[in-house]
Amino acid sequence: MIQLKNVSKIYRTKNGEISAVNDVNLSINKGEIFGIIGYSGAGKSTLIRLLNGLEKPTDGTVEVNGQLISSITGNKLRVARQKISMIFQHFNLLWSRTVADNIAFPLEIAGIAKTERDKKVKELIDLVGLSGRENAYPSQLSGGQKQRVGIARALANNPEVLLCDEATSALDPETTDSILELLLDINKRLGLTIVLITHEMHVIKKICNRVAVMEAGRVVEQGEVLQVFQNPQADITKNFVHQITGSKESQGSIEQILINYPTGRIVKLTFVGQKTEQPVISKLIKQFNVEVNIVHGNISQTTSGPYGTLLIQIDGDAQNVQNALAFLETNEIQTEVIEHA
């Protein structure tokens, strides 16, 4: 569906060159929700503008739905863009138009007859949960309602790709979740490919199938969300995962834990998918005659299943403790024994 090959974007200014995107390679499948996460200045917004042709790459190629967006121009580009819609952080609604008229706007531009236009607008209003608000103006809407209008307008021309540029950043957490649920529902109902850029790992965790992590214009890590949660490689990815799991312990906190639990072994367990539902602790106690204390624990839900971390103390006969550790390893539970620095 979407292919980026060796894509770079360099802006040339009077103060020199700025490399916004640097040798990015991405493959996004039809019908998936793909997240791109990074802090401000990582190159996310430039990358998403390359996907709809608002920017042209300095090097490399961008292909969307069979069209080489990086090279086509004029009418071919306009036609291709009709299948690539976008929603924004600050909604970009027409304040002098009602909800229905905002949604109808792209249909008017496309020359759709009024009868068909009105029918489509009603369908979209129902789809995004705004029934009864069609005659309201943007100033009369909440932030979440405004974004629902933006989503409905983006869907008016039956796009095959929906680009979301920090679409929930201006919303409170509860409203953010409702918009993410709406995007997930639209993805399932319409089979729409969604590319979502954000600086919030919660957004990635909530609805994305796969994720690419950007830093200084480069994609430093990518993969299925659950795999990235389980085994983050880049430091920036570890920071993002920590936002959700709270699984990153400082050396100071590690040392304090070891002081508080001077005997036995302190072990960090990582569970993925159905492993999070297994009665691991009770099995350790019953089968190996060891004492187990839970020091800290956290479970997060992703679209691919749950991910959890657990910090425990295992105490008892040295051989029994060793047998318990071996049992954890053989049951495919990622195990890390915490030692003094």
Contact 312, 294 (CB under 8 A): yes
Contact 93, 149 (CB under 8 A): yes
Q: Taking 50 as the threshold, does the pLDDT of residue 234 lie above it? A: yes
Start-end of H helices in 32-83: 44-51, 74-81
Distance, in Å, from the CA atom of 127 to the CA atom of 125, rounded to the nearest integer, reads 5
Q: Taking 60 as the threshold, does the pLDDT of residue 192 lie above it? A: yes
Among the ranges given (39-53, 89-103, 319-333), the one the predictor scored with the smallest mean pLDDT: 319-333
Among the ranges given (112-121, 176-185, 283-292, 297-306), the one the predictor scored with the smallest mean pLDDT: 297-306
Q: Is 188 exposed, middle or buried (0-12, 13-18, 19+ CB in 10 A)?
A: exposed
> How far lies 22's CA from each of 213, 215, 253, 279, 285, in Å?
13, 10, 37, 46, 52
Q: What would the pLDDT profile of 194-212 be if each residue is shown by its tens digit? A: 999 999 888 998 899 999 9
Q: What angle do CA 123, 126, 128 make, to 5 degrees?
A: 110
Q: Taking 90 as the threshold, does the pLDDT of residue 256 lie above it? A: no
Instruction: Kindly report the number of other CB atoms within 10 A of residue 295's CB atom.
Output: 16
Instruction: Kindly report the number of other CB atoms within 10 A of residue 90's CB atom.
Output: 14
User: Position of tokens 């496309």?
Assistant: 110
Distance, in Å, from the CA atom of 18 to the CA atom of 73, rounded to the nearest integer, reads 25
Say whether 314 sits in a helix, a strand or coil.
Answer: strand
Say whether 188 sits in a helix, a strand or coil.
Answer: helix
What would the CATH number be for the domain defined by 2-244? 3.40.50.300
Matching fold, domains 2-244 and 251-338: no
Q: What residues does each domain of the chain span?
A: 2-244, 251-338
Say whether 328 sits in a helix, a strand or coil.
Answer: helix
Q: What would the pLDDT profile of 95-112 be if each residue is shown by its tens digit? A: 999 999 999 999 999 899
Q: Which two tokens stand for residue 153?
A: 């307008």
Q: What pLDDT is stored for residue 297 in this prediction?
A: 78
Q: What pLDDT is stored for residue 274 in this prediction?
A: 64
pLDDT band at 258; cut points 50, 70, 90: confident
Q: What pLDDT is stored for residue 275 in this prediction?
A: 61
Q: What pLDDT is stored for residue 341 in this prediction?
A: 47
Q: What pLDDT is stored for residue 252 in this prediction?
A: 58
Distance, in Å, from the CA atom of 284 to the CA atom of 177, rounded to the nearest integer, reads 38
Say whether 26 sits in a helix, a strand or coil.
Answer: strand
Q: What is the mean pLDDT of residues 297-322?
A: 82
Q: What would the pLDDT profile of 305-314 be if each residue is shown by its tens digit? A: 777 778 899 9
Q: What is the DSSP string of 110-161?
A: TT--HHHHHHHHHHHHHHTT-TT-TT--GGGS-HHHHHHHHHHHHTTT--SE
Q: Taking 50 as the threshold, does the pLDDT of residue 281 lie above it? A: yes
Chain-centroid distance of CA 111 in Å reads 35
DSSP 273: G
Question: Is the Cα torsion angle 62, 169, 303, 333 positive or negative in sign?
Answer: positive
- Select the CATH number that applies to the domain covering 251-338 from these four: 3.30.70.260, 3.40.1190.20, 3.90.1150.10, 3.30.70.360: 3.30.70.260
Distance, in Å, from the CA atom of 246 to the CA atom of 258, rounded to the nearest integer, reads 18
pLDDT band at 32; cut points 50, 70, 90: very high
The model's pTM: 0.82
Q: Taking 80 as the threshold, does the pLDDT of residue 266 lie above it? A: yes
Q: What would the pLDDT profile of 209-230 be if each residue is shown by its tens digit? A: 999 999 999 999 999 998 888 7
